[in-house]
Amino acid sequence: MRILIAPDSFKESLSAKEVINTISNAFILEMPDLTIIKVPMADGGEGTAETLIEATNGYFVEKDVFDPLCRKIKSKYGITGDGKRCIIEMASCCGLSLLKPEERNPSITTTFGLGELIRDALNKGIKEFIIGIGGSATNDAGAGMLQALGFGLKDKDGKEIGFGGYELERVESIDLTNVDYNLKDTKFLIACDVDNPMVGENGASYVYGPQKGADMQMVEKLDKALVKFSKVIKKVTGMDIYNIPGTGAAGGIGAAFLSFLNAKLMPGFEIVSEFHNLEEKIKESDLVITGEGKTDHQTKFGKVVSGVSKIAKRHNKPVICISGSYTEDATTLYDYGITAIFSSIHTPDNLENIMKNANKNLHFTALNVARMIKFLNKKKGGGPPESLLTTLKDFEQSYQTLIKDQAP
């Protein structure tokens, strides 16, 4: 029997690789002859770089860069084990988490630090980039990033503009003379899970500006500046970027990537699944196990568990989800291909203890799931996993009662 284990991380407690190893160890105890395929997953958001770098035995490079307010900070990017790809999380240099609430101001925050990370990787010969753009504190349409890469954003007097969302209204031309020559023949995949356009009531400023510190007056001015910048982009590149879905992500940075860096915007899960060749591995498996820290109604929106399940459903593979916890509405995921959902939290406790015991509790749950599968397999006479595991939904309720009585 071939089992594929493809979970997300359990946020703030276990990495995806740790989750895999814990589940794998539990299953091997009960079924030593199993073949286990390990695929650490992520959805393009927080933790994606760590997951992909760890999975490929890669490494991280630290770099001093500007934060959103042009203060020097230590940030990092990852290089995959084959030395060919760079993984960057935009939030590590341009994120809201780097600012105090009172410092949030998208009229002046910049993506320059992201450009610095890209340029450093380019100087090391990297030609392929995967960039997660969630959690940004900026609304400058990637102008700061472009400036760091040598693009000259000039005002009517031919002088370089400053940093921040408001400065975009001053741009009249873009000088390509000093663009980093290492950008030639590069490939950028941008993990983007929203389809907002660059401007307008559904655009970057109106939808995401308020959470970055903008009041309505600032939102209107930021949107006007983005409109101006989109016109300059069209004049320089011929691309009408104005209403392309996804260009409003992360303060409009999708527009810069599409216009000047020949990038491709893709849902984060799709990027990671292609990275791992996940679909082929699922096709070769008899059973798929996935999971995350908490499974709820949001799981269906581009998260790892729903993404893995959809692929498995296409190939008629049963899926078990083992998560830290789940809500009642998580049962809607049965329609996405999940056979059964299990929680690794057995008894009420405070968050500190739950986090501390995450590995032990996960092992206990995985062990019981493995025992159940072994029992069903024996009862069914070793029949195909598809016929065995469809019965797991019926066992789930009794299982949860059982582990409450047996939990250590």
Tell me how far apart the alpha carbons of residues 392 and 408 are, in angstroms, rounded to a whole number.
Answer: 24
pLDDT at residue 401 in the model = 52
**b/e burial code for range 166-175 (CB count within 10 A of at least 16 → b):** bbbbbbeebe
Angle, in degrees to the nearest 10, between helices 304-314 and 268-276: 60
For residue 50, how far is the Cα from the chain centroid?
11
Give the C-alpha separation, 180 to 166, whole Å.
25
Whether the CB-CB separation of 63 and 77 falls below 8 Å is answered with: yes
For residues 109 and 103, is the Cβ–Cβ distance under 8 A?
no
The whole-number mean pLDDT for each consecutive block of 10 residues of the chain, a chain of 408 residues, reads 93 88 96 94 85 91 98 97 95 94 96 98 97 93 98 96 97 96 95 89 93 96 97 94 88 94 92 93 96 88 91 95 90 90 84 83 94 79 52 52 51
Superfamily of domain 2-41+277-406: Glycerate kinase; domain 1 (3.40.50.10350)
| CA–CA gap between residue 267 and residue 60 (Å, rounded) | 24
**What residues form DSSP beta bridges with 340?**
320
pLDDT at 88: 96
- Res 310: pLDDT: 96
Domain locations along the chain: 2-41+277-406, 48-268
Question: Which residue has tokens 């032990």?
Answer: 360
C-alpha span between 354 and 176 (Å, rounded): 53
Q: Are 255 and 142 spatial neighbours (Cβ–Cβ below 8 Å)?
A: yes
135 φψ region: left (φ > 0), alpha (ψ -120 to 50), beta (else)? left
Distance CA 317, CA 287 (A): 6
In this prediction, residue 188 carries a pLDDT of 97
Half-sphere exposure at residue 158, Cβ-oriented, CA atoms within 13 angstroms: 0
pLDDT score of 391: 53
Query: How far is 261 from 283, CA to CA, in rounded Å?
Result: 35
End-to-end CA distance of the chain: 30
Question: May I ask the CATH class of domain 48-268?
Answer: alpha beta
Task: Give the DSSP letter of residue 295.
Answer: E
Say what angle helices 48-55 and 16-30 make with each other, to 10 degrees.
50
- Interatomic CA distance for residues 344 and 323, integer angstroms: 6
Supply the pLDDT for residue 141.
Answer: 96
User: Which pLDDT score is estimated for 350?
Assistant: 80
Q: Are 87 and 52 in contact (CB under 8 A)?
A: yes
